Amino acid sequence: MTDTPHHAPQPSGAGASTITALTTPDDTAKAVVIYSGGMDSYTVLHRALRAGFDVHALSFHYGQRHSRELETASQVCQQLGVAHQVVDIRAIHGLIGNSALTDADRDMPGGDYDADNMTATVVPNRNMILLSLAIGHAINIGANVCFYGAHGGDHVLYPDCRPEFVEGVNAVAAIADFNPVRVAAPYLHSSKQDILADGLSLGLDYAQTWTCYLGGEYACGQCGSCRERLAAFAAQGVDDPLTYAAPGKMS
């Protein structure tokens, strides 16, 4: 699949309107996108490209239990011809390793994506760390916008995906350097289903994403991330193009 940055009609919805607001004459052409390889950041990446930005994608290896998302991100950026760096920050693993996403000795919780059973997947202060590095990179290359894929479904579980966090980090980014950088979360008030609907309207191929918290040959279909993804596809009446492990088995 290939894509060429161009201006395209923006669909309605909170996510799309945020990106539209950022594509003003005051904005530089360059933008940094924190790109994990998952479906949220994949959609953000394409939205930024469609809005006309010269995108510089950043992926981070911070000690995740697997690298499937990072491999997927690299493949997509190579196909699109998007500048992409995978930044190895595994040295900080000992500082933020108290999470089921980074500690292979901990059981990965299954079930629906909510605070009751998914708290173990919180990586302490992750987005603050990643955004700090992305903002520095933006200043370095002359970009003044950093995109990341926080969305409404994350608010109850991940503190660094809430609107007040985005507001706070924007206030800091505006004064951290003499070249202010804005942090944009285009889907901050949108659901996973909304994000998928927006991506499908662009004709995006979600086989080019990896969502599962585990890194097996197939997506497990049981972790909260898989279940939220599957629910979004079901709500849209569309089959998920990923292959899932047999029921009852975690890959």
Domain with 57 in it: what CATH number? 3.40.50.620
pLDDT digits (tens, 9 = 90+) for 89-137: 888 777 766 554 554 555 544 555 455 555 555 566 788 889 999 999 9
Q: Is 241 within a domain? A: no
What is the domain extent for residue 178?
14-204
Q: Is 229 within a domain? A: no
Please provide the distance, in angstroms rounded to a whole number, between the alpha carbons at the two ends of the chain.
27
pLDDT at 5: 35
Q: Is 56 within a domain? A: yes
Q: Name the binding residues.
A: 35-45, 212, 220, 223, 226
Q: Can you tell me the distance from the alpha carbon of 63 to that of 244, in angstroms, rounded to the nearest whole number?
A: 24
Q: Is 85 within a domain? A: yes
Q: Name the binding residues for Zn(2+).
A: 212, 220, 223, 226
Q: Can you tell me the distance from the alpha carbon of 102 to that of 126, in angstroms, rounded to the nearest whole number?
A: 11
- Please count the structural domains in the chain: 1
Q: Is 244 within a domain? A: no
Q: Is 216 within a domain? A: no
Q: Can you tell me the distance from the alpha carbon of 200 to that of 74, in angstroms, rounded to the nearest whole number?
A: 21
Q: Is 231 within a domain? A: no
pLDDT at 45: 97
Reported as type and span, the H/E element at residue 200 is: helix 192-201
Q: State the pTM of this model.
A: 0.81
pLDDT under 70: residue ranges of the chain: 1-28, 65, 96-124, 153-157, 246-251
pLDDT at 128: 87
Q: Is 188 within a domain? A: yes
Q: Can you tell me the distance from the alpha carbon of 156 to that of 160, in angstroms, rounded to the nearest whole number?
A: 10
Q: Name the binding residues for ATP.
A: 35-45
